[in-house]
Amino acid sequence: MLPTRFRYIAVEGPIGVGKTSLARRLADATGGDLLLENPDDNPFLARFYSDKKRYALQTQLFFLLARTEQTARLSQAGLFSPVTIADFLIEKDPLFARLNLDDTEFALYQKIHADMAPKAPTPDLVIYLQAPSSLLAERVRRRGRIYERNLPESYLADLARLYSEFFYHYDSSPLLIVNSENLNFADKTADFELLLKRLNDMRGAREFFNLGT
């Protein structure tokens, strides 16, 4: 079981790292509410992967609007559920914008983002999953989404670097940084139970979890 102080948990990390699978597992284990990004709902995403320059801005703005609506509902609900598990953190949205937009588009994105001022309750815990870009690419290929099949490993490496920079400075919530290279939370119960134990043992504001530690 999770400590009762963790009522709102956000799982984050780059594409293919397994954040949605872990969020589902945590929600199942706790009986909590599950808040997912649902990237397949973005009508521009498949076109973005085939023509990034043309569709980057539309894709990013759709995600910004969707994430803002989801987190607004979360705020209005007042976290009445005993536990809420999300597979995204609204604060990371500019990270993708910085990677995918040119300077003019990014300036427009920043203005829209500032005007919307998306807000969400601060998570009681953020779980940041890490993995090498080669493993991210393997996991992306394995899940078989057609529009991701030509996603280059270099893009995943750049994204992983930006995530690392983002969480290096992140201090809004307690943070557990998890090296998921040798862990499979979706399919291996023993790995998931190790993570639950690590969560129960957390005492600091920033801690690390590797297999066997």
30-85, pLDDT tens digit by residue?
Answer: 888 899 998 889 999 999 999 999 999 999 999 999 988 888 777 655 545 678 89
- Whether 3 is covered by a domain: the verdict is no
- Whether 137 is covered by a domain: the verdict is yes
- 3-state SS class at 5: coil
- Whether 2 is covered by a domain: the verdict is no
Q: Record the tokens describing residue 191, joined without a space.
A: 């790995």
The residues pairing with 143 across neighbouring beta strands, listed in sequence order, are: none
- Whether 80 is covered by a domain: the verdict is yes
Burial pattern 96-119, b for ≥16 Cβ within 10 A else e, equals: bbebbbeeebbeebeeebeeeebe
- Whether 1 is covered by a domain: the verdict is no
What is the pLDDT, as a whole number, of residue 73?
72
pTM over 0.85: yes
What is the pLDDT, as a whole number, of residue 148?
84
Distances (CA, A) of 46 to 36, 49, 138: 19, 5, 19
Domain count, the chain: 1
Q: What is the DSSP letter of 130?
A: E
Question: Do you know the residue count of the chain?
Answer: 213
- Whether 174 is covered by a domain: the verdict is yes
User: Residues with Cβ < 8 Å from 207, sequence gap 6 or more?
Assistant: 174, 175, 176, 177, 198
- Whether 60 is covered by a domain: the verdict is yes
Cβ neighbours of 211 (radius 10 Å): 12
* Burial degree of 143 (CB within 10 A; 0-12, 13-18, 19+): exposed
Q: What is the pLDDT of residues 106-151, one digit of tens each?
A: 999 999 999 887 777 889 999 999 999 999 999 999 888 888 888 8
Return the CATH number at 35: 3.40.50.300
Q: Record the tokens describing residue 134, joined without a space.
A: 């080669």
* Domain of 102, in residue numbers: 8-209
Looking at 1-51, list the stretches that DSSP marks H as alpha helix, in order from N- to C-terminal side: 19-30, 45-50
